[in-house]
């Protein structure tokens, strides 16, 4: 094989999540009552627009979740095949031009020279102090004067491609439009337009320039931003996944059985809640770090270590956030178990386990779905803050938090290096905003009370 | 209503003066004060415990040990401070013991302090509970006597004070170890004052009121350097007695937080969370500004004040600044007079670093900001664990591997990226300015560099690749198994900002197709790994205690191996020839012969390459044009007394640089007011709608 | 009612023990007493004897949780955990590992923390509720739509950007307020203005939208319809009925936020150089000062438990239907 697949735990979980979601979607299609809220969601323009915006994020994140090691050339004749110790992802291959073209240090967006002056030795041996040319950024230009022309040529080509694609897309959408008439395809199409208009020229420009500049060690900031997306997605989704078993289990059990079970569960979550969250997370993260340090043999590569830390961070965040969901579910279950049909089930001697899974769980599912949707963006923001204060992801992991953290040094430089923080800001804002909007429509679609309000208003 | 509020706001702000963003009270604006910042709160200000530079910047202004380093001269030179002259060692009993006789300057008085008023030694607990600062009590002074120095030396052995140099001193000062044991037995009542005057220490005797003698076992020429550190500064017994009154400790009134000394300043406000204030000691005897220095000092104006009495500045305000951005920006706005980082910050986790340029920008030059750099007596190195099966040991294979890596790690690039060029590439264990260090062609490390066109140049990567192949890893892969070579670097986490640095390290090894796995851990775990000897490659630093080659070479001394004997040799390097030379060199006076031995040791170490010699960071400090006599001094932190500030100029420039920009504020208010319009319109419409019958 | 309060307070004891146990375990899994000693004794020339001595003096030379060598009850009591925890319940915090008295430190830092947190809390509350009422009043109009959009937009920006950006613009570019620092008394004003504004702005989106949801939900209730039917003006419906009835959910959210107030904003405090409890805690974590971390966690949980109790009591004032069981 030319490569050896590497299964990082978060990769597996993320893909598992994708499969489960797909399965759930398929299941929903066959059950009208389950599909109904989703139909309501996708009939709103906001939902469609935000899904269109989220899709590229998702694609980038998933592409970055397929890891492998490439094969090295054979050295001896009989020796076994050996693989490069470096773990790459599909995204790394797709963006290899961004990954491999590293400058020495900072350079501004679209720059052809470094951001700081250096001693340069001229051909005749003289030393001058000037801004050195970049190794890659704009290196194809024979004369730096051509830069603007070259850039506009690339941008124009990008725009043309975008326009062509856009029109093509209108064609593709047509049959879909006929199939699901209620979905506002127009809104989707109008969202794709601007996305293409931005993405295509950036793509073409990134071939020759560093569109978002380079960071301290000369890495392309666009590449870093793309790599950060996966971290955000993992934190946003896997954390809720880690939280769900606790949240749902404890919540409905406490609400259903009451008595000492309820007391115990309440005790546990009040205790956890009363510890200031950041302290709990910081302590847990440090603890896990020690675990990793004590057992280096379990995590032979940096990628695995960083991945374990990311996974554990999800777990820790999950443990500290499950209490909210538990409280909600406990309240709802208390209410539900008073209802006649549950009482009736009791009277017929239906087992507790059956009542819980067949009657209670489906009826609180909407709360779970709403919570998951709402939590996503909050978690993405939390990751940034935690990484900023140093108890977040592994320093070797690229994330928006680590980018912002680096910016605190960059902003105290003179002259100021603004592009990393600007890139992190833009990428994060769009992601979180889209996620928030989507979560809103999900809530509107699922929450019976909100629906009533919408009708009344 | 809104207009009234606005009016109020404007008048209220106008009351603050023309500058709105002055973090200091308006009344201080023209006072003769120096403004500076500190990042980490000091842990100990007691001279027996304080060891870091963060603390030294406070303790060294207050405490005066017998000696100090000359402010301007380089290489560093010891001169008397509270002593009359630099003591000469005198050997007795045929070299079995060495005696230092220290004569102190008569007529030195302590700062005013309540401890010198006998009535303050038996305060009512209620009185203590009401105190905000010990200086609220009546204060007095007394003359400095030899007993105070002796008292402090005894305190080094105090069982309840953890002096970091006790272990070292117990090896040398006669009777120190037994003394500590004696005190431990006598110290039965916890929290109560142990009057050390009652217990004589054999190796330290009082000759007369202003002379004392210290007797050392064997020879220890480096002892004089210790006499320039606060460990040997005088401490009056009254202060200990005063601070040991019941009720003092819970109010944080301890000698650890309220130093009592004879120096030019006294610590009058002590709030390590926010600010520390030093004020001029009215009883300070006065000291003349040095009249000699390095040749270029006169040109730099550093000798303009020669002979004048120091200190020039009345008050020093240190503000706590934990984040880099505010620190830097406040400096640029003129609210800190100097900016810079100490060089021992690699010791502990640092979260803040100022990213100032080694090269001043035009804007900064226009503002009159000056840059002073000096090479620190520090080395930051990459060590190879000598006990590691892959990179360690004296085998030819491992040596070639280490040499190859030493060439590949491009320290010049590291300095330019991460230190803005503030540093010198290391070529051996010694830091510049230390006896035995060599400059120029003689000083280069032939393993990694060649001398060409009058400069040291790193050997080409091809040579590293060749060495790697000779070591048995052609193209970074084991010649026998074909497996890629993976090495492990243990580093200390300093925060999420580490990523670029880690990436850089990985890239250096990648140049040889060697995969580097960086294992980052917190400081404790890192230390533990090194103690156990389970690290492979690691980064550490050493900051000289005193300017002597012994203080660097001992880091490679086999007997000081960290794993075997908890010493400072973290690489566990051991080479019998090197060790033998070290024992000879250790207690020698500086001489050509010593130079020869040091050269030989350096050569051995270079060839064995137990360290990648890393770099020597440059201490740098940026200072505003109104501050005179700034010269970084790596060995001493007591330079504040020499600084002079042009207060008028500072006030004028601060005003000029900080004029508030008001239009955005007005704009924001207008926008906010404007956004109320649709609300009002909507409200009117609603009201009218409500009046209609419901449809 | 008194009996109820007493019962609730007794109920708090196991919670506090649990909290203590969790902190203790989390902390000591990470750090051994040796680590703590090394941290305090510095990094240079530290001998094993010095470490043993330090541990002995600071009471870390006993087993952590279970003393097998002691007899009877001593197995559980002659341990680091027991000795260090019991004192907390008497509110004796003792000295930090660096020797400074913790109670003293807390007293000194509460002021700055509150000077920042209370205005953020009150101003934030006023602004958010006003805005939410405004949106609820104009629900389902373009004003509501754009208002909610504004909220969603603002809550999608990380608080870090507000802090970094706000400080950069207001202090660095416009020279309006000092970049960082703190002073007691009235002088505090110029230091806390910007952090307060940033604090309010960064919580604005989430809170205003949350309150709007509550109000809008309240507006669908029957009593509102009745009030309207009586011919009450929309304004008096909003303020007289809706606001009052929405108090319960609002209170629930608010009171629980009070302990967080006490801790202040961890990041804001260190960014603006305000010497409050938040930065104290962060420093302590970084310096691995267990005495401080444990005390702060303990205070935090005491406040939380008290806040819960206070919430329940305050319900009775807001809503007469709520009675103590």
pLDDT in tens, A321-361: 888 889 889 988 988 888 888 888 888 888 888 888 888 88
Residue ranges of domains in chain B: 2-16+660-691, 43-251, 378-619
A394: in domain: yes
pLDDT at B204 over 90: yes
- How would residue B359 be classed by pLDDT, with cut points 50, 70 and 90? low
- How would residue C322 be classed by pLDDT, with cut points 50, 70 and 90? low
Q: What percent of chain C has pLDDT over 90?
A: 12
A79: in domain: no
- How would residue B350 be classed by pLDDT, with cut points 50, 70 and 90? very low
pLDDT at B173 over 90: yes
Give the rounded distance of the alpha carbon of C91 from its chain centre.
19
Taking an 8 Å cut-off on Cβ atoms, the answer to whether A276 and C300 are in contact is yes
pLDDT of residue B345: 34
A273: in domain: yes
pLDDT at A142 over 90: no
Tokens 């850039």 -> residue: A151
* Most C CBs within 10 Å, among B274, B331, B527, B692, to test the C interface: B274
pLDDT in tens, B292-327: 988 888 888 899 999 999 999 999 999 988 777 788
Specify the range with the lowest mean pLDDT, choosing from B358-362, B434-438, C296-300: B358-362
pLDDT of residue A428: 94
DSSP string covering C2-40: HHHHHHHHHHHHHHHHHHHHHHHHHHHHH--HHHHHHHH
pLDDT of residue B343: 33
pLDDT of residue B205: 93
Q: What percent of chain C has pLDDT over 70?
A: 90
Whole-angstrom CA distances from C187 to A268, B37, B109, C274, C277 are 44, 20, 37, 13, 20
Contacts of A433 in chain C (CB under 8 A): 152-153, 156
* Most B CBs within 10 Å, among C54, C175, C232, to test the B interface: C175
Homologous superfamily (CATH) for B378-619: Dipeptide-binding Protein; Domain 3 (3.10.105.10)
Q: What are phi and psi for residue A119, nearest 5 degrees?
A: -70, 125
- How would residue A53 be classed by pLDDT, with cut points 50, 70 and 90? very high
- How would residue A454 be classed by pLDDT, with cut points 50, 70 and 90? very low
CATH class of C102-324: mainly alpha
Best CA proximity match to B551, nearest among C40, C45, C46, C51: C45
Pairwise CA distance, residues B462 & B407, whole Å: 10
pLDDT of residue A79: 57
Taking an 8 Å cut-off on Cβ atoms, the answer to whether B273 and C176 are in contact is no
Query: Distance from first CA to last CA of chain B, Å, rounded?
Result: 39
- Whether B262 and B111 have beta carbons less than 8 Å apart is answered as yes
Taking an 8 Å cut-off on Cβ atoms, the answer to whether B41 and C283 are in contact is yes
Taking an 8 Å cut-off on Cβ atoms, the answer to whether B330 and C180 are in contact is yes
- On the 0-12 / 13-18 / 19+ scale of CB atoms within 10 A, A349 is exposed
Of the candidates C141, C177, C234, the beta carbon closest to that of B20 is on: C177
Helix (H) or strand (E) holding B450: strand B449-452
A405: in domain: yes
Region(s) of chain C under CATH 1.10.3720.10: 102-324
pLDDT at B212 over 60: yes
pLDDT in tens, B66-99: 999 999 988 888 999 999 999 999 999 888 999 9
Please, which residues have CB within 8 angstroms of residue B28's CB and are 6 or more apart in sequence? B317
pLDDT of residue A78: 53
- Whether C128 and C211 have beta carbons less than 8 Å apart is answered as yes
- Interface check for C38 against chain B (CB to CB < 8 A): the answer is yes
Q: pTM for the whole thing?
A: 0.87
A90: in domain: no
Homologous superfamily (CATH) for B43-251: Dipeptide-binding Protein; Domain 1 (3.90.76.10)
pLDDT of residue A128: 77
CA dihedral sign, ordered C222, C224, C226, C228: negative
Of the candidates A104, A402, A409, the beta carbon closest to that of B355 is on: A409
- Interface check for C93 against chain B (CB to CB < 8 A): the answer is no
Whether a cis peptide bond, with omega within 30° of 0, leads into B311 is yes
Tokens 């400081």 -> residue: B523
Distance in Å, alpha carbon of B603 to nearest chain C alpha carbon: 27
Contacts of C18 in chain A (CB under 8 A): 267, 271
pLDDT of residue B637: 84
- How would residue B557 be classed by pLDDT, with cut points 50, 70 and 90? very high
* Most A CBs within 10 Å, among C154, C160, C165, to test the A interface: C160
- How would residue B473 be classed by pLDDT, with cut points 50, 70 and 90? very high
Range of the domain at A386: 244-421
pLDDT averaged over every residue in chain A: 86
pLDDT of residue A63: 95
Pairwise CA distance, residues A451 & A443, whole Å: 9
- Give the per-residue SS3 of B620-640: EEEECCCEECCCCCCCCCCHH
A359: in domain: yes
Helix spans in A64-146 (H): 90-94, 96-100
Please, which residues have CB within 8 angstroms of residue A254's CB and are 6 or more apart in sequence? A261, A262, A265, A266, A326, A330, A333
Whole-angstrom CA distances from A104 to A107, A218, B392, B505 are 9, 5, 31, 13
pLDDT at A211 over 90: yes
Average pLDDT over residues C150-156: 92
Query: Distance from first CA to last CA of chain C, Å, rounded?
Result: 9
SS3 (DSSP) at A145: helix
Contacts of A267 in chain C (CB under 8 A): 14-15, 18
pLDDT at B622 over 50: yes
Give the rounded distance of the alpha carbon of A121 from its chain centre.
45
- Whether C15 and A274 have beta carbons less than 8 Å apart is answered as yes
Tokens 């709402």 -> residue: A374
Taking an 8 Å cut-off on Cβ atoms, the answer to whether A267 and C30 are in contact is no
Number of Cβ pairs < 8 A linking chain A and chain C: 112
pLDDT averaged over every residue in chain C: 82
pLDDT of residue B65: 96
Whole-angstrom CA distances from A227 to A65, A303, A310, A396, B166 are 10, 13, 14, 12, 52
Whole-angstrom CA distances from B649 to B30, B362, B630 are 10, 20, 17
Neighbours of C, requiring at least 3 CB pairs below 8 Å, are A, B
Average pLDDT over residues B630-645: 88
pLDDT of residue B239: 95
Q: What percent of chain B has pLDDT over 70?
A: 93
State the ipTM, two decimals. Answer: 0.86
Pairwise CA distance, residues B423 & B232, whole Å: 32
Contacts of C22 in chain A (CB under 8 A): 271-272, 275, 280
pLDDT at B11 over 60: no
Total domains in chain A come to: 1
Tokens 């060749």 -> residue: B466
Taking an 8 Å cut-off on Cβ atoms, the answer to whether A437 and C159 are in contact is no
pLDDT in tens, B56-70: 889 999 999 999 999
Average pLDDT over residues B413-436: 86
- CB count within 10 Å of CB A102 equals 19
Q: In what order do the strands lie in the sheet with B204-208?
A: B89-92, B97-103, B211-217, B204-208
pLDDT averaged over every residue in chain B: 87
Contacts of A386 in chain B (CB under 8 A): none
For residue B622, the cross-strand partners are: B339, B371
Average pLDDT over residues C252-277: 76
pLDDT at B432 over 50: yes
DSSP B277: E
* Most A CBs within 10 Å, among C22, C156, C265, to test the A interface: C156
Taking an 8 Å cut-off on Cβ atoms, the answer to whether B503 and A86 are in contact is no
Distance in Å, alpha carbon of A71 to nearest chain C alpha carbon: 39
pLDDT in tens, B25-61: 888 888 999 999 888 788 889 999 888 777 888 999 9
């Amino acid at each position: 094989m030319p490569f050896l697949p590497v299964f990082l735990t978060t990769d597996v979980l993320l893909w598992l999540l994708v499969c489960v979601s797909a399965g759930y979607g398929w299941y929903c299609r066959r059950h009208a009552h389950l599909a109904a809220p989703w139909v309501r969601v996708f009939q709103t323009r906001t939902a469609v627009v935000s899904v269109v915006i989220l899709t590229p994020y998702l694609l980038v994140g998933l592409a970055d979740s397929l890891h492998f090691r490439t094969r090295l050339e054979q050295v001896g004749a009989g020796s076994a095949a050996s693989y490069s110790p470096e773990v790459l992802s599909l995204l790394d291959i797709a963006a290899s031009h961004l990954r491999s073209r590293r400058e020495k240090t900072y350079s501004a967006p679209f720059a052809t020279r470094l951001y700081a002056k250096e001693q340069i030795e001229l051909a005749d041996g003289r030393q001058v102090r000037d801004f050195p040319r970049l190794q890659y950024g704009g290196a194809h230009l024979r004369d730096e004067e051509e830069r603007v022309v070259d850039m506009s040529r690339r941008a124009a080509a990008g725009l043309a491609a975008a326009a062509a694609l856009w029109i093509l897309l209108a064609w593709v959408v047509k049959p879909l439009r006929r199939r699901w008439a209620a979905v506002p395809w127009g809104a989707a199409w109008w969202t794709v337009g601007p996305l293409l208009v931005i993405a295509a020229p950036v793509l073409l420009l990134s071939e020759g320039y560093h569109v978002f500049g380079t960071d301290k060690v000369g890495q392309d900031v666009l590449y870093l931003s793309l790599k950060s997306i996966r971290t955000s997605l993992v934190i946003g989704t896997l954390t809720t996944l880690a939280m769900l078993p606790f949240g749902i289990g404890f919540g409905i059990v406490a609400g259903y059985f009451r008595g000492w079970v309820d007391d115990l569960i309440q005790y546990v979550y009040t205790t956890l809640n009363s510890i200031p969250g950041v302290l709990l997370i910081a302590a847990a993260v440090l603890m896990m770090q020690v675990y990793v340090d004590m057992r280096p043999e379990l995590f032979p590569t940096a990628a695995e270590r960083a991945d374990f830390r990311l996974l554990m961070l999800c777990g820790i965040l999950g443990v500290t956030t499950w209490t909210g969901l538990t409280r909600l579910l406990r309240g709802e279950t208390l209410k539900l178990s008073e209802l006649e049909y549950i009482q009736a089930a009791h009277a017929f001697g239906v087992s507790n386990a059956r009542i819980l899974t067949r009657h209670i769980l489906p009826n609180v599912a909407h709360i779970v779905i709403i919570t998951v949707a709402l939590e996503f963006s909050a978690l993405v923001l939390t990751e940034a803050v935690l990484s900023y204060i140093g108890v977040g992801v592994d320093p070797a992991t690229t994330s928006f938090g680590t980018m912002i953290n680096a910016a605190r040094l960059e902003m105290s430089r003179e002259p100021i290096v603004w592009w990393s923080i600007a890139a992190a800001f833009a990428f994060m804002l769009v992601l979180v905003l889209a996620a928030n909007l989507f979560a809103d429509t999900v809530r509107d679609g699922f929450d019976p009370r909100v629906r009533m309000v919408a009708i009344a208003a | 209503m809104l207009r009234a509020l606005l009016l109020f706001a404007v008048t209220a702000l106008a009351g603050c003066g023309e500058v709105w963003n002055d973090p200091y009270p308006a009344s201080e604006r023209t006072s003769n004060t120096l403004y500076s910042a500190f990042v980490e709160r000091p842990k100990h200000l007691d001279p027996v415990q304080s060891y870091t530079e963060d603390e030294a910047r406070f303790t060294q202004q207050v405490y005066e040990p017998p000696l100090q380093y000359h402010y301007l001269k380089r290489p560093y030179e010891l001169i008397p401070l509270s002593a009359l002259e630099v003591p000469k060692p005198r050997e007795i009993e045929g070299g079995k013991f060495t005696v230092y006789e220290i004569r102190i300057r008569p007529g030195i008085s302590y700062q005013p302090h309540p401890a010198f008023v006998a009535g303050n030694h038996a305060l009512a607990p209620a009185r203590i509970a009401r105190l905000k600062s010990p200086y609220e009590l009546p204060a007095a002074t007394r003359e400095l006597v030899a007993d105070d120095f002796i008292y402090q030396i005894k305190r080094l052995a105090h069982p309840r004070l953890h002096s970091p140099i006790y272990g070292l001193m117990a090896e040398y000062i006669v009777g120190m170890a037994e003394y500590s044991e004696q005190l431990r037995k006598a110290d039965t009542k916890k929290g109560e004052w142990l009057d050390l005057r009652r217990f004589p220490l054999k190796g330290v005797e009082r000759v007369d009121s202003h002379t004392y003698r210290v007797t050392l076992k064997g020879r220890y020429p480096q002892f004089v350097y210790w006499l320039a550190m606060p460990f040997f500064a005088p401490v009056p017994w009254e202060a200990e007695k005063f601070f040991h009154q019941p009720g003092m400790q819970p109010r944080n009134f301890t000698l650890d937080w309220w130093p009592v000394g004879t120096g030019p300043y006294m610590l009058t406000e002590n709030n390590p969370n926010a600010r520390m204030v030093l004020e001029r000691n009215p009883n300070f005897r006065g000291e003349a500004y040095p009249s000699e220095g390095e040749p270029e000092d006169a040109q730099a104006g550093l000798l303009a004040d020669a002979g004048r009495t120091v200190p020039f500045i009345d008050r020093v305000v240190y503000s706590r600044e934990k984040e880099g951005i505010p620190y830097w920006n406040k400096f640029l706005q003129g609210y800190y007079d100097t900016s810079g980082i100490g060089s021992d910050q690699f010791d502990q986790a640092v979260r803040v670093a100022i990213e100032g340029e080694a090269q001043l920008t035009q804007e900064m030059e226009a503002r009159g900001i000056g840059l002073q750099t000096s090479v620190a007596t520090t080395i930051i190195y990459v060590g190879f664990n000598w006990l590691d099966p892959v990179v360690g040991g004296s085998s030819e294979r491992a040596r070639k591997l280490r040499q190859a890596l030493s060439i590949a790690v491009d320290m010049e690039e590291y300095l330019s990226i991460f230190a803005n060029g503030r540093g010198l590439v290391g070529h051996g264990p010694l830091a510049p300015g230390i006896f035995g260090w060599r400059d120029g062609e003689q000083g280069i490390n032939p393993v990694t560099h060649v001398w060409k066109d009058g400069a040291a140049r790193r050997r080409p990567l091809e040579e590293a690749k060749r060495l790697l192949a000779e070591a048995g890893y052609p193209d970074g892969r084991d010649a026998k198994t074909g497996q890629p070579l993976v090495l492990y670097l243990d580093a200390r986490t300093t925060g999420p900002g580490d990523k670029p640095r880690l990436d850089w390290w990985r890239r250096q090894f990648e140049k040889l197709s060697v995969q580097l796995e960086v294992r980052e851990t917190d400081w404790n775990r890192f230390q533990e790994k090194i103690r156990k000897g389970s690290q492979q490659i690691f980064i550490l630093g050493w900051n000289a205690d005193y300017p002597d080659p012994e203080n660097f070479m001992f880091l490679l001394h086999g007997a000081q191996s960290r794993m075997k004997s908890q010493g400072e040799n973290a690489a566990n390097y051991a080479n019998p020839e090197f060790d033998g030379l070290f024992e000879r060199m250790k207690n020698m006076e500086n001489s050509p012969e010593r130079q020869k031995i040091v050269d030989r040791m350096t050569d051995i170490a270079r060839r064995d390459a137990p360290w990648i010699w890393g770099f020597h960071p440059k201490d740098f400090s940026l200072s505003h044009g109104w501050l005179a006599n700034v010269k970084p001094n790596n060995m001493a932190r007591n330079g504040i007394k020499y600084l002079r500030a042009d207060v008028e100029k500072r006030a004028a420039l601060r005003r000029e640089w900080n004029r508030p920009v008001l239009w955005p504020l007005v704009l924001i208010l207008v926008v906010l007011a404007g956004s109320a319009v649709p609300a009002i319109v909507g409200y009117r419409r609603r009201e009218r709608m409500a009046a209609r019958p419901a449809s | 009612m008194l009996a109820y309060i007493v019962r609730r307070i007794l109920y708090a004891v196991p919670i506090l023990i649990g909290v203590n146990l969790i902190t203790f375990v989390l902390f000591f899994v990470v750090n051994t007493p040796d680590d703590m000693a090394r941290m305090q004794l510095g990094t240079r020339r530290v001998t094993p004897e010095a470490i043993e001595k330090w541990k002995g003096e600071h009471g870390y030379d006993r087993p952590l949780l279970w003393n097998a060598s002691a007899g009877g009850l001593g197995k559980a009591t002659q341990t680091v955990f027991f000795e260090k925890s019991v004192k907390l319940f008497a509110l004796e915090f003792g000295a930090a590992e660096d020797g400074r008295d913790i109670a003293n430190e807390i007293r000194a830092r509460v002021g700055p923390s509150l000077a920042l947190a209370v205005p953020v809390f009150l101003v934030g509350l006023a602004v958010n509720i006003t805005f939410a009422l405004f949106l609820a009043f104009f629900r389902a109009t373009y004003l509501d739509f754009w208002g909610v959009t504004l909220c969603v937009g603002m809550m999608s920006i990380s608080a870090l950007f507000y802090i970094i950006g706000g400080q950069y613009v207001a202090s660095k570019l416009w020279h309006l307020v000092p970049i960082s620092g703190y002073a007691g008394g009235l002088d505090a004003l110029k230091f806390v203005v910007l952090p307060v504004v940033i604090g309010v702005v960064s919580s604005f989106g989430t809170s205003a939208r949350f309150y709007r949801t509550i109000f809008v939900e309240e507006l669908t209730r029957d009593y509102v319809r009745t009030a309207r039917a009586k011919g009450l003006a929309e304004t008096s419906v909003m303020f007289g009925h809706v606001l009052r009835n929405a108090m319960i959910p609002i209170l629930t959210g608010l009171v629980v936020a009070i302990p967080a107030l006490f801790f202040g904003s961890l990041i804001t405090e260190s960014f603006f150089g305000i010497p409050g409890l938040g930065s104290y805690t962060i420093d302590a974590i970084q310096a691995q000062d267990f005495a401080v971390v444990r005390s702060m966690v303990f205070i935090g949980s005491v406040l939380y438990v008290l806040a819960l109790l206070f919430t329940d009591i305050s319900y009775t004032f807001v809503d007469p239907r709520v009675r103590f069981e």
